[in-house]
Structure 1
Amino acid sequence: MSSAANGIPGDDVRVASGAKTGRIDVHAHFLPEKYRSALVAAGHAKPSGMPGIPTWSVEQALTTMDRLSVDTAILSISAPGLHFGEDAAARDLARHTNEVGADACRNHPKRFGLFASLPLPDIDGSLSEIEYAFDTLNSDGVVVESNHNGVYLGDRKLDPVFEELNRRHAKVFIHPTNPHCACCQDPTVLPPIGYPFPMLEFMFETTRAVFNLILSGTLERFPNLTIIVPHAGATIPILADRVAGLSPALGLSKPLDPANFYRALRGLYYDLAGFPLPRQIGPLLDIADPAHILYGSDWPYTPEPLAIDLAAKLDASPLLSSALRSDVMRNNALALFPRFA
């Protein structure tokens, strides 16, 4: 049955050159109703200081995907995650959320993938959910926040989870969340300088988490992980030299070898959700493998008109060669997720 017969716009409303690319979107969010209710109950009716919780449904997603020329979107939960203080409630919410995502995948196997949510920082609950997500739901990977109730990625407390993910050669999508500091814990209050967390703090949360994964030796201990970093690497390309230069003063048990440090950065994957043009792509290409750059829309947290505009700018940008654009929009993701071919 055609898209038009399903009430989904056809190619005439797609982003101009996107119809030629069949994008694969690795940064696409979903919000089951039970998750929306849990956010509101936990005081996150305006998550991370944003105006409100966007609406989401499978039908909405398919319509927007067609308008963006997205063939496949890999669904994930965004900030602030789903652990709001009680392990049992977080386990229940993770299981429900993953079931909803898996249903979308079963009903539309070429249109949706799933990065399963974990009830972190609950280790035992997360290990159980990893087993269920991969062995029963056939998830494509997992999503983790930059910190989980103050436990940042790279903390040794998370090693059992990373060890199991490493055993499974898992894809791990990182998403930033609210900084964990005393002045940022009230979900009804904006950060001290008064701007929503996604505007500034998310960039530094991503950077903090990724550098800690490297400096803590986590990525070296668990080399089978495929890590996807959001938002064009945030401030990682700009701060990489500073981190490498100052690392000898840290007294690390194993000194940071600059060559290995930059090799680790090049081994990561990076999506282009957000505002990579015109200034972020250049520094990103200085540190990243071009074969590791992926498309991301960040819909529905990025409203559809803005997502369409950002995709059109990527399609038209002279900073991306035709070959690189094709790789970013589809081919690089297919190398990671060949089932969507």
Structure 2
Amino acid sequence: MASQIQRVDVHHHVLPDFYKDVQRAAGIMGSAYQAFPEWSVDKSLALMDSLRIGTSIVSFTSPGIFYGDIAQTRELARRFNDFLAETVSARPDRFGAFAFLPLPDVEASIAEIGRIYDELHLDGICLLTSVDERYIGHPDFWPVYEELNRRKAVVFIHPCYPPGTEARGWDIPRMLIDYPFETTRVATNLIFNGVMEKLPDIRFILSHAGGTLPMLAHRISLFDKKTKQQGNYPKGALHYISKFFYDTALSGHPAPLNALTAFVPPSQILFGTDYPYVSEDIAASETSGFDAYSGFDNEQRLSVERGAAELLFPRLKKLA
């Protein structure tokens, strides 16, 4: 049963016209399965009001800002993050933001982390699952993880197109099945490469109830003592899987929520919509499915809707 608390949506995107222009210049003419959706601050606020969302932590999303030109990537990171800061500054009660980093440039990313936290005062970082054919968790980016750990950063991981090529004739929209697989790859990569064990102060949020990770968690754990990376995750895969945070975007059905809560405590689950990359009607129907889910008691539901987000973003407590 739905509560009356004002929810926090941690999976809510922005899509200003200048981001569409950046993508079109790179030959990308729409989202993963349709033309670019229409977005504005007012549209977000209307959706939020209709679904009892008090605050959305907004982010840019796939395909990101790296198109092979590092100088362009550095410039876009600053522009995009300045836009996020302006959006939050105009309505700090209704918006927070996850900032982009200019990866694969490690040095520039570390510098931008400083600007994000010390000048722009944004709420966290958004990392896409891969950049320049390397998944998050790759050792090349280790200094960035160390700085995020030092900052005790909240890091929202969003899937993007898988690196490499696709089979001839493959025409299934990537967001339907590839995105959940990409999230699973990154989560496993972070565990197997020791990021979760060695840098435990990063709070990672996985999109879409962890993608396929809940269905594969048991299978992954069966081989804890057999992989060559076992020394990097000495407590076993299930321990680290339970330490990620997970949003509920596109998971408003008992099957994915039951799979998730089989391995993850409700205290690690956060509310999400994925607007505007899903339409208002899908966001509403998925929220209705979440509201109807009987697997949370009242205290757990309050935590998913707002309490867990307040622990990650303490400033939200003042807005309750």
Q: Which interval holds the TM-score relative to the shorter structure?
A: over 0.9
TM-score (norm 2): 0.94
Aligned to 2:262: 286
Identity of aligned residues (%): 35
1:317 CA displacement: 2.1
Task: Determine whether 1:228 maps to 2:199.
Answer: no
Matches within 5 A, 1:204-283: 204-252=181-229, 254=231, 256-257=233-234, 259-283=235-259
Partner of 1:63: 46
Q: Residues of 1 paired with 2:73 and 2:18: CA distance?
A: 12
Any idea what SS the aligned residue of 2:63 has? coil
Q: Quick one: distance in 1 between partners of 2:64 and 2:225?
A: 34
How many residues end up aligned between the 2 structures?
317
The amino acid of 2:217's aligned partner reads A
Question: Does the 8 Å CA contact 1:32/1:100 hold for their aligned counterparts?
Answer: no
Cα deviation 1:27-72 (Å, max 9, x = unaligned) = 0001122211101111221233x11111221111111111111100
Give me the CA root mean square deviation.
Answer: 1.7
The C-alpha deviation readout for 1:129-184, integer Å capped at 9, x for no partner, is 11111111001000001111211011100101111111111000000111101238
Of 28, 45, 50, which aligns to 2:29?
A: 45
Tell me the CA shift for residue 279 of structure 1.
0.5
User: Which residue number in structure 1 is paired with residue 90 of structure 2?
Assistant: 107
TM-score by length of 1: 0.89
Local SS of the residue matching 1:158: helix
Q: Which residues of structure 2 form unaligned runs of 5+?
A: none
Secondary structure in structure 2 of the residue aligned to 1:279: helix
1:298 aligns with 2:243: no
CA distance in 1, matches of 2:112, 2:37: 26
Query: Partners in 1 of 2:105 and 2:279 — Cα distance?
Result: 32
1:202 is aligned to 2:179: yes
Note the 1:1-341 alignment, pairs <5 A: 17=2, 20-48=4-32, 50-183=33-166, 192-252=169-229, 254=231, 256-257=233-234, 259-341=235-317
CA distance in 1, matches of 2:140, 2:216: 26
Q: Which residue does the alignment assign to 1:6?
A: none
Give, in whole Å, the separation in 2 of the partners of 1:250 and 1:101. Answer: 41
Q: Secondary structure at the match of 1:223?
A: coil
Question: 1:212: Cα distance to partner?
Answer: 0.5
Contact 1:247 1:255 in 2 (8 A): no
